[in-house]
Structure 1
Amino acid sequence: MTLLLIHTGGTIGMGPGPGGLFPVEGKLERAVEARLPKGTELLAEVFAPLLDSADVGPAHWNRILDTISAHPEADVIVSHGTDTMAYTGAALSQALAGSGRRVILCGAMVPLGMQGDAEANLDLAIDAARAASPGVWLAFDGRLWPAGALVKTDSHAHAAFSTVPQAEAPPRAGIRFAERKLAVLTLTPGLPAAAIGAMLSQLDAAVLRVFGAGTAMNDPAFLDVLSAAINRGCRIRAVSQCLHGGLEPGAYAAGGCLWSAGVENGGTETPEAALIRLWLDLSAQ
């Protein structure tokens, strides 16, 4: 067996220092190596510098994907901070859809060696790298979570994640994330249409978190900025601000402006999954 460890950073490989937790070189690699079954070859791709997950983005997703592709014989563990785990989980799940690869994401709320969750999460990840079904999974809090459906719901507890079921992603056949400008925008009561327009003017596509089952402000100026953005080629995909239930176009008249302007229905997609879908769609053009 060959295990490929892609160590991007995150709390799991940190240690205490005078100014707080900081990345400790070699800490995670040593912990993995000590846990491997006999006869297992460990390959390690270590980011330098190690990253806080707040700094992880499309270029890093591409590096992870390229490294996975370069080792077709290996099972894969990707270490990652928890704060943007849902974005990277969606990115790898959708980009690797149909590949048959098994990739296990792993992180922790407390670093290795500090009597927290790191050791159990790492043990689970190593076992899953050998035995889990093909796909991209997160080893966390005693179970495997489908990485393409993650939502981080707690900033401190070991039970930090939940999942929202997602539709199966279409095969992407080696697509990488191109340099595009995308963002997740959230509607709030009283948000000026001009503010939404200013943000959309800088973007190639956007995920718009709307109210409930798919409602938005009944403001002609808001409709105008949506229509203007879409007419110039900016894709806008709506998702609900609610964790469960998704969108139902036509259920409320208050949502009619979204669909008449050409906003796409994201259904039950999480904001992370919708953003990745748009990014890969644009990258394939």
Structure 2
Amino acid sequence: MKRKVLLIYTGGTIGMEKDYETGSLMPFNFEKIFNKIPEMKLLECEVTVHSFDEPLDSSDVGPEEWKMIAKIIGDFYDDFDGFLVLHGTDTMSYTASALSFMLKGLRKPVILTGSQLPIGDLRTDAKENLLTSIYYASLYENDTPVIQEVALYFEYKLLRGNRSLKYSAKYFDAYQSPNYPLLGQSGVHLNIEKQLLYRAPEHEEFKVDFHLSQDIIFWRIFPGMTLKHFAEIPKVKVLILQVFGSGTIFNNKGTENVLQKLRRNGTEIVVVTQCISGGISFGKYENSTVFNKIGAISGSDMTAECAITKAMHVFENPAFNGKFAEHFTENLRGEMSV
């Protein structure tokens, strides 16, 4: 039987073509993608296109758009064997991370991809990314989907969505998964590392959880900065601090006093690293002990994109009983090492 894939087009470079009169990039009608890539007619699966009314630059994709994508997947979950989300590259890792938490009990492939060059460009990477993503989205064995999680495919690499980050705006090989191995690579054959794939708990039925709090602030620490401004934002619900190395910050009483004041005002403080690879280890150095003193929460080796979207999903979510810290430090979707 032919597998059915729903292609959700949100916007981004992959759906652009050059206006040869102005030289500007303009979105084309993605419903006509089969004319742009006639090879799609050779695929051994049926592809249905569902486009956003207005294609969006990925910098305009946020919580409301994540909910729209999740709703489309939820509404058509029983009608399709897999889902492919075409997305601009700049914020694709945020969307992949958010969807991984919103789509509970997922047992079908949800693949995100995009491109660095427009689909009509002579040297485009769009065609390979699109065609191979469709293969991954329709990959079944013994009538069972091989991939049952949110993944990101780009330049021959399949990555766990909530482990991915964009590290290059220049090269086709634009994404990394620094703290988790690749789920697969495409070459002559489509390779999958099956032992690395995520599987939802057996008792968890598929549902879409749309909860996304926007009471989250992300702040990157830099040498010499003053923390006095933190004391002026006492209404912050969750503050994610991106600090040095394995979890260090300025070692002075002023730092501790400001952070303690925030904690007394009820702010949850999450700590993630500025390093691309590795994670947080409170107490490894003296300059990280302050976080133990104030009861901060370790972001482990989560990417910043993942920590932000996970905090948005978990904070004040009625589906999670208990304290925020308890659920934030739980490995919910394979997003952190334990």
Q: 1:179 to 1:15 in 2, by over 3 A?
A: same
Q: 1:243 corresponds to which residue?
A: 276
Residue 116 (structure 1) aligns with: 124
- Alpha-carbon shift at residue 24 of structure 1 (Å): 1.9
Alignment pair present for 1:84 and 2:91: yes
Amino acid at match of 2:30: G
1:120-199 superposed matches below 5 A: 120-131=128-139, 132-165=146-179, 173-198=207-232
The answer on whether the counterparts of 1:93 and 1:147 sit within 8 Å (CA) in structure 2 is yes
Q: How does 1:46-85 map onto structure 2 within 5 Å? A: 46-73=51-78, 74=80, 75-85=82-92
Name whichever of 23-32 and 114-123 sits farther off.
23-32
Note the C-alpha offset of 1:173.
5.0
Alpha-carbon RMSD? 2.5
How far off is 1:252 after superposition?
0.9
Q: Shift of the alpha carbon at 1:183?
A: 2.8
Taking structure 2 as the reference length, the TM-score comes to 0.77
Deviation at 1:93, TM superposition (A): 1.7
1:143 Cα deviation from its structure 2 partner: 2.2
Letter in 1 for 2:151: W
Per mean C-alpha deviation after superposition, the further-off stretch among 129-138 and 75-84 is: 129-138
- Kindly indicate whether residue 25 of structure 2 is the aligned counterpart of residue 21 of structure 1: yes
TM-score after normalising by structure 1: 0.90
Residue 203 of structure 1 deviates from its aligned partner by 3.1
DSSP 3-state at the match of 2:54? strand
- Compared with structure 1, are the counterparts of its residues 9 and 148 closer, same or farther at alpha carbon in structure 2 (3 Å cutoff)? same
Distance in 2 (alpha carbons) for counterparts of 1:39 and 1:87: 31
The answer as to 2:236 corresponding to 1:203 is yes
CA apart distance, 1:264: 0.4
SS in 1 for 2:85: strand
Matched position secondary structure for 2:138:
helix
- What CA deviation, in whole Å up to 9, does each residue of 1:154-193 have, x standing for no partner? 1110000110336979879532133422232100011111
> Offset at 1:226?
1.9
Aligned residue for 2:12? 10
- Number of positions where the alignment pairs a residue of Structure 1 with one of Structure 2: 284
- Contact conserved, 1:77 with 1:103, CA < 8 A, in 2? yes
Per mean C-alpha deviation after superposition, the further-off stretch among 174-183 and 110-119 is 174-183
Give the secondary structure class of the aligned counterpart of 2:308.
helix
Query: Cα deviation per residue 1:78-112 (whole Å; 9 max; x = unaligned)?
Result: 00111111111111122225321210101000010
Per-residue CA shift, 1:214-247, capped at 9, x if unaligned?
A: 1111233322332222233322210111111211
Distance 1:202 1:33 in 2: 54
> Which ranges of 4 or more aligned residues in structure 1 deviate by more than 4 Å?
31-34, 36-41, 166-173
Check the 8 A contact 1:112/1:119 in 2, yes or no: yes
Which residue in the other structure is 2:294 paired with? 261
Distance 1:176 1:231, change over 3 A: farther
Mapped partners of 2:162, 2:264: distance in 1: 30
What is the alpha-carbon distance in structure 2 between the residues aligned to residue 33 and residue 282 of structure 1? 46
Runs of 5+ in structure 2 lacking a partner? 140-145, 181-195, 319-338
CA distance in 2, matches of 1:279, 1:150: 18
2:277 corresponds to which letter in structure 1? H
Q: Residue 50 of structure 1 aligns to a residue in which SS?
A: coil
- Is the CA contact (8 Å cut-off) linking 1:32 and 1:122 kept in structure 2? no
Q: Distance in 2 between matches of 1:99 and 1:129?
A: 13
Contiguous gaps of at least 5 residues in structure 1: none
Aligned letter for 1:83? D
| Structure 2 CA distance for partners of 1:95 and 1:246, relative to 1, 3 Å | same
Alignment identity in percent?
30
Asked whether the 8 Å contact 1:216–1:258 carries over to 2, the reply is no
Counterpart AA for 2:8: I
Instruction: Decide which moves more: 213-222 or 32-41.
Output: 32-41
